[in-house]
Amino acid sequence: MALQAFTPSQALTLGVELELQLVSTHDFDLAPQAEDLLRVLKGHTGAWDVKPEITRSMIEIGTSIQRQHAALVAELQDLRGQLARGARKLNIGIAGGGTHAYQHWSQQQIFPGERFHYISELYGYLAKQFTVFGQHVHVGCEDGDQALWLLHALSRYVPHFIALSASSPYVQGVDTGFDSARLNSVFAFPLSGRAPFCLGWDEFGRYFDKMTSTGVVQSMKDFYWDIRPKPEFGTIELRVCDTPLTVEKAAALACYLQCICRWLRESKPFEPAEDDYLVYTFNRFQACRFGLDGEIVDPKTKERYRLRDDILRTLARVDEHALDLRALDASNLIRESLFEGNDAGWLRAQHARGLPLSAAVEAATRRWMALD
């Protein structure tokens, strides 16, 4: 199967996808009610989309194409309201967070669907362990060459988004010590990690042809890379974020990415290179393990920085772009979160008050549904 042509799209447009937890309002464990909720939401208003995910205790929502922060927030708040009303009809809750704090993977049920059953048969128990929840952000690009350049230029900023969005400290009732344990589940898949270093769409097409000829992949969906091109949409897709605990945080993360992309495109502060990936896995681990307190290594200078400080410097660099894109509110929310801490810290704080993990999940559910 040949790689499809890259569909041109307007540069720097945004699309946000959120994978969400469906929880019982009795014990706040995961509830396998995706089919029921999708049926309730079938007639929803708005241009956003809702669809199933691999197991029956999760759904994925996707925004329409957006250009500015205010409109993106408004759409996310609208879909949150409609999802919350639909969930209340079924006596379930909806929560963000990269993992559910105490669900057991063996109890999860694969959603009925051809592709989901294919993944389950291919990956075995890993498919059920893939009951984790992420935010994906699409950024529009004019052509495939520009998409691949931007994909590799963004590799230095992947730790920013891991640390800022981290909301998965607990797995099966245990504090893992990671701020983002979700990505450990993703990394178990053989086609995860980083994309190959190609800066031209024709070169990438030759790589894709080689991969499909082996029978290992059939389409771009089979790549679970941290950032991957989506030629049918005309975008690149950042996939490293945990689902935040609020839609406002999700919008801020998307617009922070938009600002970085505009700065990279217009200022071109460096040219991406294969050597940028020498420290990629180390930097990625630091962000997953320690969150905003992690340290990263600059691939060019080999200097080591505190991740929180690098984000502050980057915010200063992109401020003028945030102004032009009308995303200053998003930048300010990101700044505030550097001092308040990420969602992993918030979840740990709930448990540290002596509350059981079920109460922490309940608090997270109320937070996402805007019930407080």
Q: Which of 16, 252, 267, 257 is nearest to 160 (CA)?
A: 257
Measure the CA–CA gap between 240 and 173, rounded to whole angstroms.
Answer: 23
pLDDT in 10s for each residue of the chain, 372 residues: 678 899 999 999 999 999 999 999 999 999 999 999 999 999 899 899 999 998 999 999 999 999 999 999 999 999 999 999 999 999 999 999 999 999 988 888 888 888 888 888 877 877 777 789 999 999 999 999 999 999 999 999 999 999 999 999 999 999 999 999 999 988 877 888 999 999 999 999 999 999 999 887 888 888 999 999 999 999 999 999 999 999 999 999 999 999 999 999 999 999 999 999 999 999 999 999 999 999 999 999 999 999 999 999 999 999 999 999 999 999 999 999 999 999 999 999 999 888 899 999 999 999 999 987
Strand locations in 180-324 (E): 192-193, 224-225, 227-230, 235-242, 295-297, 304-306
Kindly give the residue spans of alpha helices, DSSP state H, lying in 181-267: 182-187, 201-214, 247-267
What is the DSSP secondary structure assignment for residue 371, as one 8-state letter? Answer: -
Measure the CA–CA gap between 75 and 334, rounded to whole angstroms.
Answer: 20
Measure the CA–CA gap between 227 and 216, rounded to whole angstroms.
Answer: 19
Measure the CA–CA gap between 157 and 343, rounded to whole angstroms.
Answer: 19
Measure the CA–CA gap between 264 and 267, rounded to whole angstroms.
Answer: 6
Q: Give yes or no for a contact between 150 and 137, defined as CB atoms under 8 angstroms apart.
A: no
Domain 14-367 has CATH 3.30.470.20: no
Token readout for 255 is 């617009």
What is the DSSP secondary structure assignment for residue 55, as one 8-state letter? Answer: B
Is this prediction's pTM over 0.75?
yes
Q: Give yes or no for a contact between 183 and 158, defined as CB atoms under 8 angstroms apart.
A: no
Q: Give yes or no for a contact between 58 and 22, defined as CB atoms under 8 angstroms apart.
A: yes
